[in-house]
Amino acid sequence: MCSQPPKEHHVDMFPYFEAAALLAPESATIGISGGEPTLFKAQLFAFLKSVLDKRPDLSFHILTNGQHFEEGDRPATAGLDQTRIVWGVPLYSHDPAIHDQVVGKPGAQKRLLENLAFLCRVGAAIELRTVLMQPNAPGLPQLARFITVMLPFIRTWAVMQTENIGYGRMNWKALFYDSSEGFEVVGRAVDFVRSRGVDARLYNFPLCTVPEAYRHLAPATISDWKRAYRAECEGCSLKAECGGFFEWHPREHGYSKLGAVQ
């Protein structure tokens, strides 16, 4: 379901990143969404070190598949102010077969767990991310249990709705999970981790698809430039707090229960 699949051509933008980051507004959080930034670890670590040293007000949120860390990265990561970096790392299932199938790489979950432990050892803040899909939705409560036992050191568990673009669009019928109908597994999983002291969040969920008791866990996470509302949203009392939809979310394959909340 990757929303940004590989392109045929790559232009290395690293020489421009530092100049751009140093021009960021005061106290900004800069998101690095990839491709996979740790394929360029030397450049990435040097860039982070330089910007974090020169701009003590800035922080970073970095999306990574968590496949490429190794013990030899310890000096470079130890040299970074980890209090100003959050690493967003995907884990799709407690079942290695499902996780590996989603990411298309045999052995990926095993490697990921080793590297999450590495990130923990270097004091990194981890936002574990699980995109909700038909293949992994039924196992969400088991994943919740797995997280509390194996990964209690994470900062946040984010359960995310799918984006209909890139591979997500190509595989939409097989992937999209209508959480407006089947919220029960999501609610049970979120309740479980929270009962064990792990923070949980719901990203990219239209608020009217989420039961009221869970809406405070669902911030408006869809970027403003790709956010859209529908005719049903007119007059909705939740619109100011609701992140709405990805602009390209298809009407015919979307949520079955949806509508303005008075």
232 is a site residue for ligand SF4 (CB under 6 A): yes
Residue type, 219: P
How far apart are CB 193 and ligand SF4 at their closest, in Å? 24
Q: How many residues bind ligand SF4 (CB under 6 A)?
A: 15
Nearest to 153 by CA among 124, 129, 188: 124
Q: Omega into 35 within 30° of 0, i.e. cis?
A: yes
Stretch that binds ligand SF4, among 14-22, 73-81, 93-101, 235-243 (CB under 6 A): 235-243
Q: Which is nearer to ligand SF4, 69 or 245 (CB)?
A: 245
Stretch that binds ligand SF4, among 39-47, 141-149, 217-225, 238-246 (CB under 6 A): 238-246
Q: Which is nearer to ligand SF4, 136 or 204 (CB)?
A: 204
Q: Given candidates 126, 244, 246, 249, which one binds ligand SF4 under the rule CB under 6 A?
A: 244
28 is a site residue for ligand SF4 (CB under 6 A): no
How far apart are CB 211 and ligand SF4 at their closest, in Å? 12
How far apart are CB 133 and ligand SF4 at their closest, in Å? 20
How far apart are CB 182 and ligand SF4 at their closest, in Å? 17
Q: Given candidates 179, 233, 246, 249, which one binds ligand SF4 under the rule CB under 6 A?
A: 233
Separation of alpha carbons 214 and 235, rounded Å: 22
159 is a site residue for ligand SF4 (CB under 6 A): no
- β-strand partners of 199: 156
Separation of alpha carbons 132 and 138, rounded Å: 10
Q: Using H for helix, E for strand and C for coil, what is the string for 29-75?
A: EEEECCCCHHHHHHHHHHHHHHHHHHCCCCEEEEECCCCCCCHHHHH
Separation of alpha carbons 70 and 96, rounded Å: 20
Residue numbers 191-230 binding ligand SF4 by CB under 6 A: 206-208, 229
How far apart are CB 141 and ligand SF4 at their closest, in Å? 26
Q: Given candidates 24, 30, 76, 238, which one binds ligand SF4 under the rule CB under 6 A?
A: 238
How far apart are CB 1 and ligand SF4 at their closest, in Å? 21
Q: Which residues contact 64 (CB under 8 A, 6 or more apart)?
A: 34, 36, 37, 38, 87, 88, 89
DSSP state of 123: T
Nearest to 76 by CA among 55, 46, 54: 46
Nearest to 109 by CA among 126, 101, 69: 101
How far apart are CB 240 and ligand SF4 at their closest, in Å? 9
* Contacts to ligand SF4 by CB under 6 A: 206-208, 229, 232-233, 236, 238-239, 242, 244, 258-261
